[in-house]
């Protein structure tokens, strides 16, 4: 596809998804720090299990960077057990809380005041934070116009025929960020809508009969 047609297709996809599913109003959290904790805990986990882990942290009164730093590792792991891989994730939460305290005195406003590219690089240097998690933090907690790429996004763009022979995270992200306006609200809704489509219709074994993008899908057209 030429660049112009990619822009057109991406805008059409967004309009159709919004008309079909409506606003998703992500991220389900009460404040930015909770978003960040959720972004780490949701790695390889269903969101319903993440919610249980976050509820445990809230009940224990430890949903803050300072509290997480002071909490013994084994106690933190026990609280987040519902999210799976709880020992590894406890280390990740500790690493982020330590990094936030040491570099920004635990102040998220100071953290998000950094230039987006610089902050992204620094987040990626924190143990347990990869590209998808870093971008989720930037978009959903920091309101930065950064498009989040996940397995659903990759699958859908591949089936629509707008991805090229490059499986890198950067390629998929540029596909959206270079062809859409840098709009935080749009990026937020677009990513959430793609996740909804991926869960509802564009599964590993697709349910094309219920997909609102069927007319646009090269994968469906090719059988």
What are 155-196's pLDDT values in tens digits?
Answer: 999 999 998 889 999 999 999 999 999 999 999 999 999 999
136 and 197 share one domain: no
Residue at a domain's end among 94, 121, 141: 141
Domain count, the chain: 2
173 and 213 share one domain: yes
136 and 40 share one domain: yes
97 and 57 share one domain: yes
HSE-CB of 198 using CA atoms within 13 angstroms: 18
Residue at a domain's end among 141, 156, 171: 141
Q: Which residues neighbour 134 within 8 Å (Cβ) at sequence distance 6 or greater?
A: 120, 123, 124
Q: Kindly give the parts of the chain with pLDDT less than 70.
A: 1-4, 220-223
117 and 73 share one domain: yes
Q: Mind listing the pLDDT tens digit for each residue in 64-85?
A: 999 999 999 999 999 999 999 9
The contacts found for 161-165 with CB under 8 angstroms, 24 or more apart, are: 161/1, 161/217, 161/218, 161/219, 162/1, 162/6, 162/9, 162/10
Model-level pTM? 0.94
42 and 127 share one domain: yes
Separation between Cα atoms, residue 222 and residue 179, nearest integer Å: 26
Which residues form the domain of 175?
Answer: 3-25+148-221
90 and 156 share one domain: no
- Predicted pLDDT of residue 222: 61
Please report, for residues 38, 99, 104, 172, the alpha-carbon distance to residue 127 in angstroms, rounded to integers and kept in the order given: 16, 9, 17, 24
Q: What is the CATH number of the domain that holds 202?
A: 1.10.1670.10
16 and 53 share one domain: no
75 and 19 share one domain: no
């Amino acid at each position: 596809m030429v660049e112009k047609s990619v822009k057109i297709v991406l805008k059409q996809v967004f309009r159709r998804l919004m008309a079909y599913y409506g606003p998703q109003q992500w991220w389900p959290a009460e404040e930015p720090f909770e978003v960040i904790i959720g972004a780490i805990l949701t790695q390889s986990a269903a969101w319903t299990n993440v919610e249980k882990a976050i509820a445990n942290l809230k009940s224990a009164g430890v949903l803050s960077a300072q509290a997480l730093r002071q909490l013994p590792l084994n106690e933190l792991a026990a609280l987040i057990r519902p999210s799976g891989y709880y020992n590894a994730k406890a280390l990740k939460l500790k690493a982020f809380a330590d990094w936030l305290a040491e570099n920004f005195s635990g102040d998220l406003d100071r953290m998000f005041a950094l230039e987006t590219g610089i902050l992204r690089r620094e987040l990626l240097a924190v143990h347990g934070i990869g590209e998808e998690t870093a971008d989720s933090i930037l978009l959903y907690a920091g309101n930065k116009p950064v498009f989040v790429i996940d397995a659903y996004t990759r699958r859908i763009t591949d089936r629509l025929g707008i991805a090229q022979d490059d499986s890198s995270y950067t390629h998929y992200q540029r596909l959206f960020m270079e062809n859409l306006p840098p709009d935080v609200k749009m990026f937020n809704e677009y990513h959430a809508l793609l996740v909804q489509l991926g869960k509802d219709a564009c599964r590993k074994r697709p349910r094309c009969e219920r997909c609102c993008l069927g007319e646009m899908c090269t994968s469906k057209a090719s059988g």
